[in-house]
Chain A
Amino acid sequence: TQLLEQSPQFLSIQEGENLTVYCNSSSVFSSLQWYRQEPGEGPVLLVTVVTGGEVKKLKRLTFQFGDARKDSSLHITAAQPGDTGLYLCAGEGLETSGSRLTFGEGTQLTVNP
């Protein structure tokens, strides 16, 4: 069973601060996805990282995939109240067909104005 440990579980910060969310595993993943879920809605895909060492930027969000493809991080610069939500990382196993996504436990982020 592949496990993804996500930290921190809860984060409450002031508008304008920076933060980093971590997603770690002892298993290798073929890809890793980050989702954001706002209250009353389903998760929405933010990014998929595939290559070890890959860095992707989405406005103020920076995503990194570890060199060994076992871990990933999400860094938010100058957080805004609109960034509030549940952030989920999800790793895809190495099976060539029909692999399951393994979700991390999630990080509940609250950005206070």
Chain B
Amino acid sequence: DTEVTQTPKHLVMGMTNKKSLKCEQHMGHRAMYWYKQKAKKPPELMFVYSYEKLSINESVPSRFSPECPNSSLLNLHLHALQPEDSALYLCASSQDRGRASYNSPLHFGNGTRLTVT
């Protein structure tokens, strides 16, 4: 079982809907990440939060809005998405983003499979 929990597992939404993806970890990690993954492709980094502050936004369209309410929770708010945004959205955490990652590798959740119709 993964220690990073993502809900929901599957989500189907229309282009005018507003929905949110949720991620939770209780490992005391201080860095949390959102990745987008298309089928048979590597994860693409979207956002990084470090100590609850947004530290990286990889030029993601504003229809994706991240939020980190506290050190254990990470949300991704979705609004007016396009069909090409359909993908697996992965949340990950690491102990500390400031240190070399071999001291704090990524722990991934099992993702939310998003379909935009």
Contact = CB atoms under 8 A, between A and B. Distances in A.
| A and B are partners in one complex rather than unrelated chains | yes
A86 B4 contact: no
B101 A42 contact: no
Given A41-B110, A42-B108, A33 B43 contact: no
Please classify the interface of chain B as helix (H, G, I), strand (E, B), loop, or mixed, using the class held by over half of its residues: loop
A105 B38 CA distance: 11
Contacts of A101: 45, 101, 106
B98 interface: yes
A105 B92 CA distance: 19
Contacts, number: 63
Contacts of A113: none
Interface residues of B, number: 25
Given A30-B100, A104-B42, A42 B105 contact: no
Interface of B: 2, 4, 40-43, 45, 50, 55-56, 90, 92, 97-102, 105-111
Given A44-B108, A92-B100, A101-B106, 9 more contacts: A33-B102, A41-B2, A42-B109, A42-B111, A43-B106, A98-B50, A101-B45, A105-B41, A106-B41
Interface of A: 30-31, 33, 35, 40-45, 48, 50, 86, 88, 92, 97-101, 103-106, 108
